A and B are shown apart, each in its own frame.
Chain A
Amino acid sequence: MLKIWSMKQQQQAASNAEGGQKKKKVTAAQLRAQKDITELSLPSTMRTHFPDPDDILNFTLTIEPDEGMYKGGSFKFTFAINSNFPHEPPKVKCTHKIYHPNIDLEGNVCLNILREDWKPVLNLNAVIVGLQFLFLEPNPSDPLNKEAAEDLRLTRDNFKRNVKNSMQGGFVKSTQFDRVLK
Chain B
Amino acid sequence: MLQSGAGGLGCEILKNLALSGFKDIHVIDMDTIDVSNLNRQFLFRQADVGKPKATVAAEFVMKRVKGVKITPYYGAIQDKGPDYYMQFQLVICGLDSVEARRWINATLVEMVDPQNPESLKPLIDGGTEGFKGQSRVILPTLGSCYECSLDMLTPRTAVPMCTLASIPRQPAHCIEWASILEWPRVMGDKKLDNDDPEHIQWLYEKALERAREFNISGVTYSMTQGVVKNIIPAIASTNAIIAASCCNEALKIVTSSNPYLNNYMMYIGDEGVYTHTFAHEQKDGCPVCGNMATDFHAKADWTLDEFIERLKEKPDVQIKKPTLTTERRKLYYAGPPQLNELTKPNLDKRLKDLLDSGEEVAITDPGLPFSLRLNVIFS
Residues of B within 8 A of A156 (CB): none
CB of A21 within 8 A of chain B?
A: yes
Per the 8 Å Cβ criterion, residues 336-379 of B in contact with A are 336-339, 342, 358-360, 362, 364, 366, 371, 373, 375, 377
Q: Chain B: which residue is nearest A41 at the CB level?
A: B335
Residues of A within 8 A of B339 (CB): 37-38, 50, 53, 56
Beyond known contacts A39-B364, A143-B165: 15 more, CB 8 A cutoff: A2-B253, A8-B117, A8-B141, A12-B114, A31-B364, A31-B371, A39-B366, A40-B336, A48-B336, A50-B339, A87-B150, A87-B153, A108-B184, A115-B161, A144-B166
The 8 A CB mask of A30-70 against B (1 = contact, 0 = none) is 01101101111010000111100110100000000000000
Q: Chain A: which residue is nearest B333 at the CB level?
A: A38
- Asked if A40 meets B113 with Cβ closer than 8 Å, knowing A83-B99, A115-B161, the reply is no
A interface residues, tally (CB under 8 Å):
58
A110's partner among B160, B336, B359 (CB-CB below 8 A) is B160
CB of B46 within 8 A of chain A?
A: no
A104 touches B142 (CB 8 A): no
B253 touches A25 (CB 8 A): no
Residues of B within 8 A of A102 (CB): 162
Using a CB–CB cutoff of 8 Å, the interface residues on chain B facing chain A are 89, 98-99, 102, 106, 110-115, 117, 120, 122, 139, 141-142, 147, 150-151, 153, 155, 157-162, 165-166, 180-181, 184-185, 252-254, 256, 260, 287-288, 293-295, 323, 325-328, 330, 333-339, 342, 358-360, 362, 364, 366, 371, 373, 375, 377
B362 touches A143 (CB 8 A): no
A39 touches B335 (CB 8 A): yes
- Asked if A26 meets B141 with Cβ closer than 8 Å, knowing A2-B253, A84-B99, the reply is no
A20 touches B295 (CB 8 A): yes
CA distance A114 to B180 in the complex (A): 14
A38 touches B253 (CB 8 A): no
Per the 8 Å Cβ criterion, residues 1-35 of A in contact with B are 1-5, 7-8, 11-12, 17-28, 31-32, 34-35
Which applies to chain B's interface (DSSP): helix, strand, loop or mixed? Answer: mixed
Residues of A within 8 A of B375 (CB): 20-21, 23
Min distance, Cβ A118 to any Cβ of chain B, angstroms: 8
Residues of A within 8 A of B111 (CB): 22
B160 touches A28 (CB 8 A): no
In the complex, the 4 A-B pairs of residues with the closest C-beta atoms, listed nearest first: A19-B114, A28-B287, A5-B117, A35-B364
B142 touches A2 (CB 8 A): no
CB of A157 within 8 A of chain B?
A: no
B338 touches A25 (CB 8 A): no
A20 touches B377 (CB 8 A): yes
B142 touches A144 (CB 8 A): no
